[in-house]
Amino acid sequence: MTAVAGYILSHGLTKITNRDLKRGDRIMKRLSPDEALAVFEQLEAFGWLTREGSKVRRAPSRWFVNPVVHQKFAEKGKAEAERRAEVRRIIAEVVGTGGEP
């Protein structure tokens, strides 16, 4: 749940779907559809998300992010975005040098 919350904050998302989880980190990519639904429902219970039902049967739902989340956790979102950028930089540096730090 914290990985998804961090992803929402660091990317400034206004909505999220299962597809977005596949673009996230290793933890998020491993979530099954049922596990993703459980995470989304937990975030909904905390007031972070609101589910928009699909008009097409069996189509995945979209979840809208409560705008207050981005206001309340603005500093955390900024810090998470910086942390993720630093991780990407380190990975690029290691890969670019043949695996040596």
E-strand spans in 1-98?
Answer: 15-16, 49-52, 62-65
3 state DSSP class of 49:
strand
pLDDT for 14 equals: 96
Structure token digits, residue 14: 């206004």
Give the phi and the psi of residue 11 in degrees, each rounded to 5: -105, 0
CATH 1.10.10.10 fits 2-96, yes or no: yes
pLDDT for 24 equals: 85
pLDDT for 9 equals: 93
E-strand spans in the chain?
Answer: 15-16, 49-52, 62-65
Q: CA 39, CA 24: separation in Å to the nearest integer?
A: 14
Q: Render each residue's pLDDT in the chain as its tens digit; 101 residues.
A: 999 999 999 999 999 998 899 888 888 999 998 899 899 999 999 999 999 876 666 666 789 999 999 999 998 889 888 988 898 899 888 887 655 55
Residues β-bridged to residue 26: none
Where are the chain's structural domains?
2-96
